[in-house]
Amino acid sequence: MMFLRYAVYRLFTMILTLWVVSILIFIIINLPPGDYLSNQIAELRATGQAAGVAKAEFLRTEYALDRPLWEQYMIWVGFLPGPNGFAGLLQGDFGWSFEFDRPVGEIVGDALWLTVLVNLAAVLFVYVVALPLGVLAAAKSETWVDYTAGFVGYLGLATPNFLLALILFYYGNKYFDLPIGGLMDPALEGEPMSWEKVKSILLHLIVPTFVIGTSGAAAMMQRLRANMLDELSKPYVETARAKGMAPSRMLAKYPLRVAFNPFVADIGNLLPAMVSGSVLVSVVLGLQTIGPSLLTALKSQDQFLAAFILMFVALLTLIGTMISDLLLVLLDPRIRYGSRDA
């Protein structure tokens, strides 16, 4: 019951945060002077194309870009009726992309799921890699295992993601015949889901997952190692050892459990970095996630598209953080409900 109440509370704060974030994003998107359409109108006027101007003017009133900023915001979110009644994010209408001349929902479409997929794969990778390595590095601290793991970890933190991506792609293709670029075989794009397609996506996911996950895994591993070392120096560990408990069993049964909590809580820090990384890596590797669209939209001031993608990215991290908070409460009953600083 307490858990349910906490879950509802977290959901409520998440929605509140999302609302503040939407205001923030809208302001940031509208920071540059002018908008896509007024730039276009000016350009068309200069070249004397009257027909185009009429269309742009029509779109301007259609999407309420001629109104004050706060009204634009309300219409975008769907708190206020626009020229065609309520049609905002809340109503599931994501707006119009002027650059591509198509509804935003249509453009991002599949990319949304692929983004979630790439990030999920990266998070899984981080846990699968960081958990054994972190524990091993702590258990064998100050041996070559520890030093090697530490060095690889530092290197993973220091190498810029996008370079790692390029290099891995090159060598992965050269020596392991891994596919270059994209998230699936071009021939399978737009096809319905099939076993072939799943296989193709999985094969294409290897390099991106590795690239996005490396820095996160390195950071996670170091923290887990530090937590484990703290635990290992406690008297109860000594007692267990003195009583002749097998080291591996002792490790898994006590210190690991305690060190595990920060490991789960950390996803709140991990996820934003991960999503950042996936945007960057997607641009470099040409993955069909929302990364490349975000970049073009930002460069051309395609405001509805950019704002929607930013909102989606924020939503993704917020949901991830919420899930990790809930998991943490389930895992560790000592954590006080309702306060995150405990």
CB of 72 to other proteins, least distance (A): 17
Q: End-to-end CA distance of the chain, in Å?
A: 20
Radius of gyration of the chain (CA): 25
User: Which of 78, 172 has the CB closer to other proteins?
Assistant: 172
Distance (Å, rounded) from C-alpha 128 to C-alpha 209? 12
CB of 116 to other proteins, least distance (A): 14
What's the CA angle centered on 292, arms 272 and 164, to 5 degrees? 65
Distance (Å, rounded) from C-alpha 159 to C-alpha 120? 22
CB of 278 to other proteins, least distance (A): 9
User: Which of 86, 151 has the CB closer to other proteins?
Assistant: 151
User: Which of 162, 254 has the CB closer to other proteins?
Assistant: 162
Considering only CA atoms, which of 330, 332, 334 is closest in space to residue 3? Answer: 330
- The position carrying tokens 């020229």 is 83
CB of 230 to other proteins, least distance (A): 12
CA 340 vs CA 219, 261, 262, 325, 336: distances in Å: 22, 13, 12, 8, 8
User: Which of 177, 341 has the CB closer to other proteins?
Assistant: 341
137 neighbors 150 (Cβ within 8 angstroms)? yes
What is the contact surface with other proteins in residues (CB under 8 A)?
Answer: 17, 20-21, 24-25, 28-29, 31-33, 154-155, 157-163, 166-167, 169-170, 180, 268-269, 271-277, 279-280, 283-284, 294-295, 298-299, 301, 306, 309-310, 313-314, 317-318, 321, 340-341
CB of 59 to other proteins, least distance (A): 21
CB of 106 to other proteins, least distance (A): 21
User: Which of 261, 276 has the CB closer to other proteins?
Assistant: 276
User: Measured on CA atoms in the order 274, 276, 277, 279, is the torsion positive or negative?
Assistant: positive
User: Which of 87, 133 has the CB closer to other proteins?
Assistant: 133
